[in-house]
Amino acid sequence: MSHNTFGHLFRVTTFGESHGPALGCVVDGCPPRIPLTEADIQAELDRRRPGQSRFTTQRREPDQVKILSGVFEDDRTGGPVTTGTPIALLIENVDQRSKDYGEIRDKYRPGHADFTYDAKYGVRDYRGGGRSSARETAARVAAGAIARKVVPGLTVRGALVQMGPHKIDRSRWNWNEIANNPFFCPDAEAAAFYETYLDEIRKSGSSVGAVIEVVAENVPVGLGAPVYGKLDADLAAALMSINAVKGVEIGAGFASAELTGEDNADEIRAGNDGAPVFLSNNAGGILGGISTGQPVVARFAVKPTSSILTPRRSVDREGHDVDVMTKGRHDPCVGIRAVPVGEAMVACVIADHFLRHRAQVG
Ligand X SMILES: Cc1cc2nc3c(=O)[nH]c(=O)nc-3n(C[C@H](O)[C@H](O)[C@H](O)COP(=O)(O)O)c2cc1C
The residues that touch ligand X, with contacts defined as CB under 6 A, are 57, 112-113, 129, 132-134, 137, 242-244, 303, 305-307, 330-331, 334, 337-338, 341
CB of 112 or CB of 357, closer to ligand X: 112
Long-range contacts of 186-193 (CB under 8 A, 24+ apart): 186/159, 186/161, 190/163, 190/166, 193/166
Regarding beta strands 81-82 and 312-315, do their DSSP bridges make them parallel or antiparallel, or are they unpaired? unpaired
Report d(CA 93, CA 23) in Å as an integer.
Answer: 7
CB of 88 or CB of 334, closer to ligand X: 334
Residue 206 beta carbon to ligand X: minimum distance, rounded to whole angstroms: 12
CB of 40 or CB of 331, closer to ligand X: 331
CB of 16 or CB of 289, closer to ligand X: 16
Residue 223 beta carbon to ligand X: minimum distance, rounded to whole angstroms: 26
Residue 184 beta carbon to ligand X: minimum distance, rounded to whole angstroms: 12
CB of 312 or CB of 358, closer to ligand X: 312
Residue 101 beta carbon to ligand X: minimum distance, rounded to whole angstroms: 11
Amino acid identity at 359: A
Residue 338 beta carbon to ligand X: minimum distance, rounded to whole angstroms: 4
Residue 24 near residue 4, CB atoms below 8 Å: no
Residue 185 beta carbon to ligand X: minimum distance, rounded to whole angstroms: 16
Report d(CA 52, CA 60) in Å as an integer.
Answer: 9
CB of 225 or CB of 347, closer to ligand X: 347
Half-sphere exposure of 181 (CA within 13 A, CB side): 23
Strands (E), the chain: 5-6, 11-16, 22-28, 65-67, 71-72, 81-82, 87-92, 155-163, 166-167, 210-217, 245-250, 268-270, 276-278, 286-287, 290-291, 296-302, 312-315, 321-324
